[in-house]
Amino acid sequence: MKDKESSISILLIAIDQLSKLLVVSVGFPVVYNRGIAFSLLGGINPIFIALILIVLARSYRNNFWFGFIIAGGAANLIDRIRLGYVIDFINLGFWPVFNLADVFITIGVLAIIIVNMKEKYESNY
């Protein structure tokens, strides 16, 4: 990734980690997620996640929005390596509990889809 994407990723990782530290320190209700995004695939190996992040980072260089995906994945990987689980704390009641890293991943994926659709649309006209 370029410097801009790396800086964004580092900032987003820091925001996620600080948010988790804050909610735990003030006793906010949390969920200990041993799966991946939205508690899917419990017990997945952190090494496997790290390999996926490395492959993705090398495949999608120079993409601003991809920095969001890498940041979200890396932030949750930090939890998984450090704690053995991911701390989730955003509970909407109608959706599985999640955290800011999951939000960053979702924003990155949606933005990439929108950008790609826009580029395809514009190339047809």
* Residue % of the chain over a pLDDT of 70: 75
Statement: residue 60 has pLDDT above 90: no
Catalytic: 16?
no
pLDDT band for 32, please (50, 70, 90 cuts). very high
Catalytic: 3?
no
The conformation of residue 37, written as its DSSP 8-state character, comes to G
What is the spatial distance between Cα 36 and Cα 42, in angstroms, rounded to a whole number? 7
* Cβ neighbours for 86, distance < 8 A, ≥ 6 positions apart: 32, 33, 34, 76, 79, 80, 99, 101
Q: In terms of pLDDT, which residue wins out, 13 or 7?
A: 13
The conformation of residue 32, written as its DSSP 8-state character, comes to E
Indicate the pTM of the whole model: 0.80
Q: What pLDDT, in 10s, does the model give residues 64-105?
A: 888 898 899 899 989 988 998 999 999 999 999 999 999 999
Identified catalytic residue from 3, 16, 79, 102: 102
